[in-house]
Amino acid sequence: MSRLGEFIVDVFCKRDALLPTIFYENAHFMLVYDKYPIVRGHMLIIPKRHVEDIIALDAEEWESLRQLKDKVLPIALRRYCGESISYNVAIQIGEHSGREIDHLHIHILPRAPGDSFEGDSRKLYRNIVERNERQDSSWVEEEVQALRKLLKYTPKKQ
């Protein structure tokens, strides 16, 4: 349910629809560039299985997530961060959390000196739930291509 109370399709269960923005995947997770990024490199970690809460992940999925975090995420983050890797993580779980799609998705927000939130996390989190989806995001496709190249990933139709 969206904040307007209208029905929102669970696009995160539809890999084919997400494919243009997927820039990496392993056994149980996809790394997806957010369609309406609030910072450069705003990405989502999305489980392939429909779960609503992070505690619903099974042991194999946690292992898959750990691999992503240890081996893949640092490479992607380095593209957007300054000298030291800095990022915010945001997860909305449950209907009062500001969540729009009830399929678990972990927002990863790379931070860099001089980004538009200047170190202010409260403002950043507010933007995740109140962002304007009409903003210009024409550069997203280019970023997806660059990340795929960086991570040597070629999407396969399933």
Contact 85, 78 (CB under 8 A): yes
Question: Residue 64 CB, nearest distance to Zn ion (Å)?
Answer: 17
Distances (CA, A) of 156 to 74, 106, 142: 23, 23, 19
Report d(CA 10, CA 80) in Å as an integer.
Answer: 28
116: phi then psi, degrees, rounded to nearest 5: -65, -10
Nearest to Zn ion of 25, 143 (CB atom): 25
- Quote the least distance from Cβ 13 to Zn ion, whole Å: 3
CB of 104 to Zn ion, least distance (A): 8
Q: Which residues bind Zn ion (CB under 5 A)?
A: 10, 12-13, 50, 103
User: Which CB atom, from 50 or from 71, has the smaller least distance to Zn ion?
Assistant: 50
Whichever of 29 and 87 has its CB closer to Zn ion, that residue is 29
Paired tokens of 136: 């210009």
